[in-house]
Amino acid sequence: MDIEPAFATVALVFEMIGALAMSSGFVVAVVLGVRALRRGDGGQAAFQILRTTLGAAILLGLEVLVAADLIRTITSKPSLEDAVILGLIVLIRTVLSMSIQIEIEGVLPWRRALLTSGGQVIGDAVARDRTASAATRTTSAGDTEREGRL
C-alpha cells in the first residue's frame, strides 16, 4: 500500500492553511488598523496595529508552511538532495520568522520572557481592539448622558 499520495494531499492542505492564515491575517490587520483610525487613535497607532498584526499572520503562515515542507519531504522517497533543499527552506523561513518576531516585539527571541506564537499575537491584537472599542462606546455613551443633563 502506497501512502505517499495521501501524505502529499496532507502537505497540500497544510500549504493551503498557511496561505489562508496569511491572507486572512492581512484582512484582520487592515480591519484593526481602520478601526484604530476611526476611534481616533491616530495614524501612528493604526500603523503599529497593522504592522504587528500582519507580521503575526505571516509568522503563523510560515510556521504552517514549514510543517507542510516537513511532511512532504519526510513522506517522500528521501534523497540527499531533498534533505538539503528542505534544510535550506527551513533555514530561510526560520531567519524570516526570527526577523519578523524581532520587528514585532523589538526584542531578540531568546531575551523575551514569554514565548508567543503568531496566533497568540493576533489574538492579543483582537482583544486590545475589542477593549478599545468598548472603551470608546462607554465614553460616547457617557458623553451623551452628560449632554442630556445640560
The rounded Cα 28 to chain-centroid distance in angstroms is: 10
Q: What is the pLDDT of residues 50-93, one digit of tens each?
A: 988 998 899 899 889 888 888 887 777 777 887 888 888 888 88
Domain assignments of the chain as residue spans, ordered by start: 4-149
Quote the pTM value. 0.65
Reported as a pLDDT band with limits 50, 70 and 90, residue 12 is very high
Q: What percent of the chain has pLDDT over 70?
A: 83
Question: Cα separation of 68 and 73, whole Å?
Answer: 9
Contact 45, 66 (CB under 8 A): no
Residues 6+ apart with CB under 8 A from 128: 49
Q: What is the pLDDT of residues 17-40, one digit of tens each?
A: 999 999 999 999 999 999 999 988
